[in-house]
A and B are shown apart, each in its own frame.
Chain A
Amino acid sequence: MNRRDFITTSVGAGLLVAASSRSLFAQFRSAGRGGTMFDKIWDAHVVANLGGETDLLQVDRCIGGSPTQVLRLVREGVELRNPEIFYNVPDHTVSTSPERYADPSLGWGWQPYEELADEMRELGFTKAFGQSDPRFGIMHVVGPETGLSQPGMVLCAGDSHTCTHGAMGLISWGGENSDNILRTGTVIRRRPRTMRVNIVGALGPGVRAKDVILRTIAQLGTDSGTGFAVEYAGPVVRALSQEARFSICNLAVEMASPTGMVSPDDTTYEYLSGREFAPSARYWDQALAFWRTLPTDDDALFDREETIDMTGVEPQVTWGINPEHAIGIGERIPDPDRAPAGKRATYRQAIEYSRLTPGEPILGTPIDEAFIGSCVESRISDLRAAAAILEGRRVASTVHSAWVVPGSNAVKAQAEAEGLDRIFKDAGFEWRESGCSKCYGSNGDYVEPGHRCISNSNRNYIGRQGRETNTLLASTTTVAASAIAGSVADVRALL
């Protein structure tokens, strides 16, 4: 019986009446509703149904409300409620050059952020973090790191990698225009179906969360999540650190699901505890009790289930022009003529654009640039892993540019306190300020035309990092190892 049929029966209607007089906080479990974490959080946030599968939802947290947007609405006379649910970080437009503090005109599309933000802060939108703010960083690093992204929330933003926050046990998606949220505190959203990706087996040496999600997308396809919200589950996910779980959820949108998530557990709660905007001691026990009602039930029903077995899976690298073109580090570049019929045209286009030879090993492909940064893997645990590979080693002299861009000002400070920046610089990497940087080449930081860049980011589409550039996606440690070799390298040889 599907959801709509359930509600039209008298039993369903009775339960619905009962539910509406119950609190948002209360558990609502019933047969036919799935029992997944996604269902629980979605159901609790529905204000009204707008026809078909489209609901009006309450939003708990929004990355948005830029100073220009908020002030424009204020000048229109719009009443803005609940400013405390918003936070704004101009991560896409800042320069990551160390000169950016002395010269605030660096960066593409720079505005006098602080002046406008001051006006906005007076209106209650106090969480406007300009580049000098200790809380500043990539928005999908900042939310969890400051404790703003919490289990059980509906969190919306404009940027497509908003799925990252789902690793905290919440529902999030990007592509949202925050105008509706500023004006009404709600969004209109079509309810997706639910998918669970069970990740099993054990991770081999040198294999990281980024490899897990690249392998998942290669196996299921870059359009496999169309119309689904995806929960990543299974023993591999349970064993990952909280920071590693962000890396997995970050690429949910690369399998066409804007909503990726992981059920919360003690790892999540411990990560959150004590952070600036996390529930304080006064509310902690109450919040924890609520969070413990969220994880997917043992008997939950998903619309689709898939399994990814990581046994024997190598570190991954992409060779082509979309994230599903991932192969093991020891494999050969595919032959388009041997590709499944529906993929042949894309493989041919990819081979032509990437200037690679089918049948050749991907290992040893020369690289011109190396980039460690982005909302995928730029947190402190990722930088520690990169530093462990780079310590006592040097970037190859043939590599034109090697950058490390920490995920936030806090990550940068922590890394410097641990001496990681010294390791990066001694190895020949540039140690940059925090921001989105070369992930998408539109803020003054881009890969040079004609260059091949191995990058720990999330998109390798044609021209993504700059015109006429080739992007090879890999994990942070594979990027580090490849920078040392000057070519695509197997990090396991350095462990």
Chain B
Amino acid sequence: MAQEIRRGGHVFDVHEGLAAPFMFDNVSTDVIAPALTNLTEGLDAPRGGLGSNRGATAFANIRYRADGSPRQDFVFNQEAYRTASIMVVGKNYATGSSRVTGVTRPLAAWGVRVYIGESFGPIFLTNAVQYGVLTVELPRETLNEIVEWVESHHGVRMRVDLERQRIETPGRDPIAFETDPRVRNKLLNGLHDLEEIEPHLPAARAMRARDVEERPWIYRPGDDRR
């Protein structure tokens, strides 16, 4: 199902696609979007997946040898995974810097819509929600089973259903997962942050007005050194 990538307010209900295994721990955003090859693809980047030319610079430092030739042991250089839209990852995936313009946005624009992993870098978690990208946390044993399925079912699409909170891998029982209720509601309804905040603006304004009275020094930095 094609998902339009806009700035905020993305809908995610169900995604079907090919999965790629990338079971490493503590993969830093420095590794995903290396500084000297900063990915600056715009929101309208055409589809093609990480194996396409447009995805060529992702993971550059571990994807290519020093002479620029692609390493065949790197998952997105392999034919079976070039158009993967689901990544199965390890612990603390995408840890470190935010790199939203280098990591989340372009990878979402190229087609990665779901990350299934043991845990995620805290800043990546927030960024992913902004771009309608779903992160699912599952225990290591379950991830290993999913990877085993992926590797023995090349070309077979996985179905990730946020509404029912389950992953369907044809030939096996569905795998249940949990999502944060607010994130689930936001993605299913395509709520922009501002739509979530708006009902509470009067309360926010009232709190601010009270705070200006009670902690004036915060709002008058450098003030009254007259």
A residues near B (Cβ < 8 Å) are 23-25, 47-48, 50-54, 56, 58, 60-61, 81-82, 84-85, 127, 147-148, 150, 152-153, 158-160, 173-177, 180, 183-186, 188, 190, 222-223, 226-227, 253-254, 256-258, 276-280, 282-283, 286-287, 290, 322, 324, 342-343, 345-346, 349, 440-442, 446, 459, 461-464, 466-468
Contact = CB atoms under 8 A, between A and B. Distances in A.
B35 interface: yes
B221 A442 contact: no
A322 to B, nearest CB: 5
B28 A24 contact: no
Contact of B28 (A51, A82, A227, A322): A322
B220 interface: yes
B141 interface: no
A24 B211 contact: yes
A177 B197 CA distance: 14
Interface string B74-105: 00000000000000000110011110100000
Contact of B122 (A24, A222, A226, A459): A226
A84 B215 CA distance: 13
Contact of B203 (A48, A278, A463): A48
Interface of B: 24-26, 28, 30-31, 34-38, 60-62, 66, 91-92, 95-98, 100, 119, 121-123, 126-127, 130, 180-182, 185, 193-194, 196-197, 199-201, 203-204, 207-208, 210-211, 214-225
A24 B211 CA distance: 7
A252 to B, nearest CB: 10
A111 B226 CA distance: 35
A24 B204 contact: no
Contacts of A177: 100, 130
Nearest to A286: B217
Given A222-B95, A463-B30, A52 B181 contact: yes
Contact of A461 (B96, B182, B194, B201): B96
Given A50-B196, A322-B26, 20 more contacts: A25-B214, A54-B182, A84-B219, A84-B221, A85-B218, A177-B100, A188-B197, A223-B26, A223-B119, A254-B96, A256-B95, A258-B122, A276-B222, A280-B222, A342-B25, A345-B24, A440-B30, A440-B97, A463-B31, A463-B34
Nearest to B61: A463
B28 A461 contact: yes
A128 to B, nearest CB: 14
B95 A56 contact: no
A459 B30 contact: yes
A404 to B, nearest CB: 21
22 contacts: A23-B210, A47-B207, A52-B180, A82-B208, A85-B219, A127-B221, A160-B123, A175-B123, A176-B126, A184-B201, A223-B119, A256-B119, A278-B217, A280-B223, A441-B35, A442-B35, A442-B36, A459-B28, A459-B97, A461-B28, A463-B36, A463-B60
A160 B185 CA distance: 27
Contact of A56 (B91, B204, B217): B204
B218 to A, nearest CB: 6
B2 to A, nearest CB: 25
A174 B200 contact: no
A280 B219 CA distance: 12
- Closest 8 interchain pairs by CB? A175-B123, A442-B35, A277-B221, A279-B217, A463-B61, A223-B92, A51-B182, A461-B28
Contact of B25 (A48, A174, A185, A223): A223
Contacts of A349: 24
Nearest to B23: A345
Contacts of B60: 463, 467
Contacts, number: 188
Contacts of A175: 98, 100, 122-123, 126-127
Given A256-B92, A462-B30, A60 B218 contact: yes
Contacts of B119: 223, 226-227, 256
A82 B62 contact: no
Contacts of B30: 440, 459, 461-464
A227 B97 CA distance: 16
- B34, B123, B196 interface centre (most CB from chain A within 10 Å): B123
B123 to A, nearest CB: 3
A52 B216 CA distance: 32
A440 B218 contact: no
B63 to A, nearest CB: 11
B181 A24 contact: no
A160 B13 CA distance: 30
B31 A462 contact: yes
A47 B194 CA distance: 14
A229 to B, nearest CB: 10
B37 to A, nearest CB: 8
Contact of A180 (B66, B96, B197, B216): B197
B197 A256 contact: no
B200 A56 contact: yes
Contacts of B31: 461-463
A58 B211 contact: yes
Nearest to B121: A256
A343 B26 CA distance: 10
Nearest to B38: A442
Contact of B182 (A52, A186, A258, A346): A52
B165 to A, nearest CB: 14
A53 B180 CA distance: 8
Contacts of A85: 218-219
Nearest to B98: A175
Nearest to A87: B221
A175 B224 CA distance: 33
A290 B215 CA distance: 9
Given A56-B200, A290-B215, A346 B28 contact: no
A436 B153 CA distance: 46
Nearest to A458: B96
Contacts of B196: 50, 56, 188
B194 A180 contact: yes
